[in-house]
Amino acid sequence: MNCVNAMMTTPLLQVRDLTTTLVQRDGMVPLVRGVSFDLHAGQTLALVGESGSGKSLTALSLMRLLARNAQWQCGGQAIFTDASGQTCDLLQLDNAHMRRLRGHQLAMIFQEPMTCLNPLLTVGEQIAESVRLHWGVNKVAARQRALQALEQVEIPAARQRLDEYPHQLSGGMRQRVMIAMAMVCEPKVLIADEPTTALDVTIQAQILALMSRLQRDTGMSILFITHNLGVVAHHAERVAVMYAGQVVEQSGVHALFAQPAHPYTRSLLACLPGRARQLSLREGHRMVLQDIPGQAPNMNRLGSGCSFAERCASRMALCDVQAPVWQGDDAHARACHLEYRP
Ligand SMILES: Nc1ncnc2c1ncn2[C@@H]1O[C@H](COP(=O)(O)OP(=O)(O)OP(=O)(O)O)[C@@H](O)[C@H]1O
Ligand SMILES: [Mg+2]
């Protein structure tokens, strides 16, 4: 997934100080805490971090699809430049405007396809519905476009699949249908939340190759959430590492593997077996994030210091009392009190 001049242009999506707080009867739980990143046209930005670090909540906040069974408060900005060049803040848009963008200019692939495929509608009906809604074309044209989308994701016997229901398809095929649904209206930004974790390694590789090809063909940008550092090495240009609801390091993918700057990132990479750190840059696909020693902090009771301090081998007295500031530059930066020597 390549993007040569992306860094020179205005980002397509500028996320600034995004906060997502769970509102509970007995208090507020800050789960996404001041996340900022830029996503440029045609670029793939990987969001990595251990389970519970807030990756999905970040994505769902941007898509305005946070679970309805809870009460949320979002803050910050997510400035999106739409296809006509106009900018808007996704967090401030009214619901109708957001619905028009979603599925059309912004799309999301979820980890588990059955959560977003309707079991009562055929694959063709579901894909065509999105086309009719966003492009305002008639039924015949929408079905034709749905067929084309299934062919694009290389589903065998695509015409026959149009009239099948999700339960009639294999896991890999459902994942392709979900990608077809996300891609059918040619979004500018695709958020892919662990899109291949449930699949076996061969199918994973096929789906990832397919996403790369679709990205090359359409020039879309991808926010790629994954536990797999091999996938990061192969498919992303930039990486943002999340810990306890915050981004703690951001850099180009090669710099992150070659010179991880945050102690958390270093621990993650140190967990990779043997020569995997070097290999992962070439080999890919198998370098799944391992758990590092210690426990993630309780998000109900965060202190004023660095949230990684308790697990950090380089912990200093300052780390317990003062939140670290960002050091570095646009190319490579981290939030840590240690002296920064790029
Ligand atoms: N609907 C919800 N209600 C209450 N808490 C939630 C809800 N969704 C997420 N959380 C909490 O928010 C935190 C971040 O969750 P999130 O799903 O964003 O993690 P993640 O980084 O995507 O993890 P994973 O890698 O396991 O998918 C977790 O502590 C989680 O328990
Ligand atoms: Mg998640």
**What's the pLDDT at 123?**
96
pLDDT range class, residue 287, cuts 50, 70, 90: low
- Banded model confidence at residue 289, pLDDT cuts 50, 70, 90: low
pLDDT digits (tens, 9 = 90+) for 151-198: 988 889 999 999 999 999 988 889 889 989 998 988 999 999 988 877
Chain segment 61-76, per-residue pLDDT in tens: 999 999 999 999 999 9
> 134-143 as b/e, with b when 16 or more CB fall inside 10 Å?
beeeeeeebb
The secondary structure element, H or E, covering residue 261 is: none
158 and 216 part of one domain: no
Query: Which of 53, 108, 289 best tests ligand 1's pocket when mutated (most atoms within 8 Å of CB)?
Result: 53
Identify the domain containing residue 282 by its residue range.
Answer: 6-105+187-303
Element (H, E) at 110: none
What pLDDT score does 207 carry? Answer: 82
**Can you read off the two tokens belonging to residue 33?**
């805490």
Site to substitute for ligand 1 among 55, 69, 225, 298, most atoms within 8 A of C-beta: 55
Condensed to tens digits (0 to 9), the pLDDT of residues 166-177 reads 999 988 889 889
Residue in 47, 57, 242 to alter for ligand 1 test, most ligand atoms within 8 A of Cβ: 57
User: Atom 29 in ligand 1: which residue has the minimum CA distance?
Assistant: 52
Confidence of residue 131 (pLDDT cuts 50, 70, 90): very high
Residue 233 shares a structural domain with residue 253? yes
Same domain, 206 and 98: yes
Is 86 among the domain residues? yes
Q: Binning pLDDT at 50, 70 and 90, where does residue 4 land?
A: very low
Which of 57-83 are b and which e, b meaning 16 or more Cβ less than 10 Å from the residue's Cβ?
bbbbbbbbebeeeeebebebebbbbbe
Say yes or no: 147 and 286 in one domain: no
Q: Whose CA is nearest to atom 8 of ligand 1?
A: 57
- 32 CA → ligand 1 middle, Å: 10
Beta pairing class for 27-39 and 44-48:
unpaired
Asked if residue 172 has its Cβ within 6 Å of ligand 1, the reply is no
Cα dist from 231 to 191, 195, 237, whole Å:
15, 11, 11
Looking at the structure, tell me whether residues 27 and 173 fall in a common domain.
no
SS3 8: helix
Residue 233 sits in a domain of what CATH number? 3.40.50.300
Confidence of residue 274 (pLDDT cuts 50, 70, 90): low
CB distance 56 to ligand 1 below 6 Å: yes
Question: Is residue 296 lining ligand 1, measured as CB closer than 6 Å?
Answer: no
Question: Which of 123-127, 177-181, 271-275, 336-340 shows the lowest per-residue confidence on average (mean pLDDT)?
Answer: 271-275
Cite the DSSP H helix spans in the chain: 55-63, 95-101, 123-135, 139-152, 158-161, 171-183, 201-218, 229-235, 253-258, 263-270, 276-282, 317-321
- List, in order, residues 6 or more apart from 24 with CB less than 8 Å away: 71
More confident position, 214 or 127: 127
Q: Answer yes or no: do 216 and 95 share one domain.
A: yes
Q: What percent of the chain has pLDDT over 70?
A: 91
**Which residues, 6 or more positions from 157, have their beta carbon under 8 angstroms from its beta carbon?**
none
CA distance to 19, 240, 302, 337, per residue, from 296 (Å) = 19, 18, 11, 19
Residues 192 and 279 in one domain: yes
Q: Are residues 73 and 150 in the same domain?
A: no
Segment 319-333 shows an average pLDDT of: 94
327 and 283 Cβ atoms separated by less than 8 Å: no
Give distance in angstroms: CA of 309 to centre of ligand 1: 21
Name the residue with the closest Cα to ligand 1, atom 5: 22
Q: Which helix (H) or strand (E) holds 16?
A: strand 13-24
Clarify whether residues 125 and 91 are in a common domain: no
Give percent of the chain with pLDDT exceeding 90: 62
pLDDT of residue 227: 83
Q: pLDDT digits over 8-47, tens only?
A: 478 999 999 999 999 999 999 999 999 999 999 999 999 9
* Residue 2 burial by Cβ neighbours in a 10 Å radius (0-12, 13-18, 19+): exposed
Q: Judge if 177 and 215 occupy the same domain.
A: no
146 inside domain: yes
Q: How many domains does the chain have?
A: 2
Closest CA to 149 of 116, 122, 186: 186
- Position 106 pLDDT exceeds 70: yes
| Banded model confidence at residue 214, pLDDT cuts 50, 70, 90 | confident
Tell me how far the alpha carbon of residue 201 lies from the centroid of ligand 2, in angstroms.
Answer: 20
pLDDT of residue 229: 83
Of the listed ranges 14-23, 207-216, 314-323, the one predicted with least confidence:
207-216
**C-beta separation of 81 from 325 below 8 A:** no
From the CB of 289, is ligand 1 less than 6 Å away? no
Give nearest CA residue, ligand 1 atom 31.
52
Any idea which ligand is nearest the CA of 52? 1
Dist. CA 133 → ligand 1 center (Å): 31
Closest ligand 1 atom to residue 59 Cα is 18
CA of 307 from ligand 1 middle (Å) equals: 17
